[in-house]
Amino acid sequence: MDGHGDSVAATVLWATLDTALLTVVNDTTGVMVGKQASATPARIEARVENLFSNPTPIRVLAAADTVFAAAPTRDSVSLAAKPDSLSDSLTVRLQDTTATGPVDLSGRPVAFALTVYPGPGANVALVTSDTARAPVAADTVSTTVGLAVVKLRLLAGPAPDSAVVTASARRAVGTLVAGSPVSFVVRFLP
């Protein structure tokens, strides 16, 4: 736009100021590819002829390329032990294995979903703390040092035979990370 806010015909070109972190794939569309993850943001800028934008920071993250169970995928909860039983931790690990060795990824979302058998009526919930009691059937948990953790809590009401919890992670572009979904089975024993 010009100084009056009217559109003008102009070719906007994009560039990176940090070529060690980003590569420009197409300077007219602004498509860039991260070369390496960094705690320091890479900077990009747009220009029209000799008019340059302010640098814009872009955070280059490691690529999530694998998710797997980091704890046993089978658990049994004994209802005789206590009426409000809590399962062991259902834990997945999210990593970038394309870097120099596996890198645990923090702050990434992992979606957990609960299916109870024989079906509706049993009061089982996904919980992220040992004191939580809300009837939650799906939750998204952020990874901490690569780990995302939930537990199952049996609430008041009839006990199910078993419950299946699936954990899935997606890349920033929306595709599933290899290994998704991870399945956990929890049996409820009298």
- Burial profile 51-86: b = 16 or more Cβ within 10 angstroms, e = fewer: eeeebeeeebebbbbbbebbeeeebebeeeeeeebe
Residue 7 inside a domain? The answer is no
Residues 151 and 75 in one domain: yes
Tens of pLDDT, residue by residue over 110-138, are 999 999 887 665 688 999 998 888 889 99
Task: Give 83's pLDDT tier (boundaries 50, 70, 90).
Answer: low
Compare 101 and 82 and report the one with higher pLDDT: 101
- The model carries a pTM of 0.75
Q: How many domains does the chain have?
A: 2
CA dihedral 128, 129, 133, 135 (to 10 degrees): 0
Task: Give 61's pLDDT tier (boundaries 50, 70, 90).
Answer: confident
Question: In this structure, what CATH number is given to the domain that contains residue 173?
Answer: 2.60.40.10
Tens of pLDDT, residue by residue over 14-59, are 999 999 999 999 999 999 888 877 878 999 999 998 989 999 999 8
d(CA 132, CA 141): 14
Handedness of CA 134, 139, 144, 149 (dihedral sign): positive
Residues 175 and 85 in one domain: yes
